[in-house]
């Protein structure tokens, strides 16, 4: 086990590299890493002793079939050099940058399979650096490493689509394993069209979306109720399992855009002003902006974007009509409307089931007939 010590940058020499040390208690011993000067010495005839620890022996292949291109950005010279040498030995093509501006400039000239970025750096921090790079390449894979994270850093990283987050000091095996996982998942997503994001990414996104309920107690349990009802409606419509899975994921993530809306609007006990209502309507667009950073979630994102559209064109954000709205979006939309009507809100008490159905039935122009009928059959057996 070889943890990376964020204070290693204070060392004066690379002859015995202190970035990767032995485990706690000293049982593992330190792994010797030669200095740059030693690496340049001609071979004296003796065979090089193989490293005692090598968690990944095979060369790493990029999405294009050659060595993966990795950009490391860190203002700590020793950390930067140590990571470069470790990854180079594993077969990666490594480029380094010492500032966020330098990293962004490099990304404009060369396409990288993965960017590893420290958070706390002089000038542009790691989160802003990755945000700019993802604007250029939304599918860019990224990893954040930091020894000085604020409580908000993980959420900020998740919002911009960071694939992995490691706190210093970290274990070398974990570090290399995360890189391998990120790149192999990226290859899988490229090779298999329609594959959704990996489980760890989805769990991070679900936790982020669920934080909306923690901030707004009136919505406690909303997502789980919505997920269950929407799945039942989908099954009643005899949708195939893949489409029901899309509905389920959309239900789990549908509120992620609400995090960009001031909480005060959801806690008002009187009617919203017109401009406040317009702002809340933007939550589906904000959700799309967040989820667009995650390859493989395109179908889920479209369901979330369109679940407030209505077949008569009176929905939002685009005013779509008829078959321009998918059944998945209609299922999520009618399920959420029903859950909202039958839940307490600051400005009213929850309605009874029959009353909510009556209101939805009066708005027949909003939903496909079969979707409305499926809802009725689910909630009134």
Q: Can you read off the two tokens belonging to residue 364?
A: 């027949």
Q: Are strands 164-167 and 141-146 parallel, antiparallel or unpaired?
A: parallel
Helix then strand then coil, in percent of the chain rounded to 5, is: 50, 10, 40
Give the domains, in start order, of the chain with CATH numbers: 6-38+52-191 (3.40.50.2300), 199-379 (1.10.3210.10)
Provide the pLDDT for residue 139: 74
Kind and range of the H or E run holding 182: helix 172-191
Place of tokens 């489409």: 243
CA dist 283 and 289 (Å) reads: 10
Provide the pLDDT for residue 345: 79
Question: By C-alpha distance, which of 219, 311, 231, 230 is closest to 256?
Answer: 219
Provide the pLDDT for residue 199: 67
Q: Which residues contact residue 231 at a Cβ distance below 8 angstroms, ignoring those fewer than 6 apart? A: 244, 247, 248, 251
C-alpha torsion sign, points 344, 349, 354, 357: negative
Provide the pLDDT for residue 355: 93
- Please provide the DSSP assignment of 266-291 as one string: HT-SSPPPHHHHHHHHTHHHHHHHHH
pLDDT in tens, the chain (381 residues): 333 333 333 333 333 333 444 333 333 333 323 333 333 334 444 444 433 333 334 334 444 444 689 999 999 899 899 999 999 998 899 999 999 999 999 999 988 999 999 998 988 999 999 989 988 887 788 898 887 656 677 777 777 778 888 887 788 888 888 888 788 766 544 443 334 566 677 778 888 888 877 777 777 778 888 999 999 999 999 988 889 989 999 999 998 988 888 877 877 777 778 888 888 889 999 999 889 888 889 999 999 999 999 999 999 999 999 999 999 999 999 999 999 899 887 778 889 999 999 999 987 789 999 999 999 999 986
Provide the pLDDT for residue 185: 64
Provide the pLDDT for residue 149: 58
CA dist 58 and 68 (Å) reads: 12
Q: Across the chain, where does the E strand assignment appear?
A: 69-73, 93-97, 114-118, 141-146, 164-167
Q: Is 94 exposed, middle or buried (0-12, 13-18, 19+ CB in 10 A)?
A: buried
Question: What's the chain's length in residues?
Answer: 381
Provide the pLDDT for residue 51: 39
Torsion angle of the four alpha carbons 87, 7, 23, 53, in this order, in degrees rounded to the nearest 10:
20
């Amino acid at each position: 086990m070889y943890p990376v010590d964020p204070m290693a940058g204070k060392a004066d020499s690379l002859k015995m590299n202190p970035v990767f040390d032995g485990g706690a208690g000293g049982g593992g011993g330190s792994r010797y890493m030669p200095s740059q000067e030693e690496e340049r010495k001609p071979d004296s005839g003796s065979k090089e002793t193989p490293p005692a620890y090598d968690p990944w022996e095979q060369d790493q292949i990029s999405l294009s079939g050659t060595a993966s291109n990795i950009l490391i950005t860190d203002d700590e010279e020793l950390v930067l050099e140590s990571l470069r040498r470790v990854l180079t030995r594993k077969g990666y093509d490594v480029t380094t940058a010492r500032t966020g501006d330098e990293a962004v400039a490099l990304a404009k000239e060369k396409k990288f399979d993965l960017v590893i970025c420290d958070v706390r750096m002089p000038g542009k921090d790691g989160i802003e650096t990755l945000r700019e790079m993802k604007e250029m390449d939304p599918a860019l894979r990224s990893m954040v490493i930091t020894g000085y994270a604020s409580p908000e850093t993980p959420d900020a990283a998740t919002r911009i689509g960071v694939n992995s987050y490691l706190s210093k000091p970290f274990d070398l095996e974990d570090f290399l394993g995360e890189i391998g996982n990120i790149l192999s998942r990226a290859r899988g997503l490229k090779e298999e069209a329609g594959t959704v994001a990996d489980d760890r990414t989805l769990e991070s996104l679900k936790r982020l979306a669920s934080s909306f309920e923690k901030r707004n107690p009136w919505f406690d349990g909303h997502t789980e109720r919505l997920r269950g009802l929407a799945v039942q409606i989908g099954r009643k419509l005899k949708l195939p399992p893949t489409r029901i899975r899309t509905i389920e994921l959309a239900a789990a993530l549908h509120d992620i855009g609400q995090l960009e809306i001031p909480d005060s609007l959801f806690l008002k006990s009187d009617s919203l002003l017109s401009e406040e209502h317009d702002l809340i309507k933007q939550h589906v667009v904000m959700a799309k902006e967040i989820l667009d950073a995650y390859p493989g979630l395109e179908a889920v994102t479209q369901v979330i974007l369109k679940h407030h559209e209505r077949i008569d064109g009176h929905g939002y954000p685009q005013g779509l009509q008829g078959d321009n709205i998918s059944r998945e979006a209609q299922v999520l939309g009618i399920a959420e409307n029903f859950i909202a009507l039958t839940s307490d809100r600051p400005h009213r008490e929850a309605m009874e089931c029959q009353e909510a159905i009556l209101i939805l039935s009066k708005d027949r122009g909003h939903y496909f007939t079969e979707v409305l009928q499926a809802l009725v059959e689910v909630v009134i057996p």
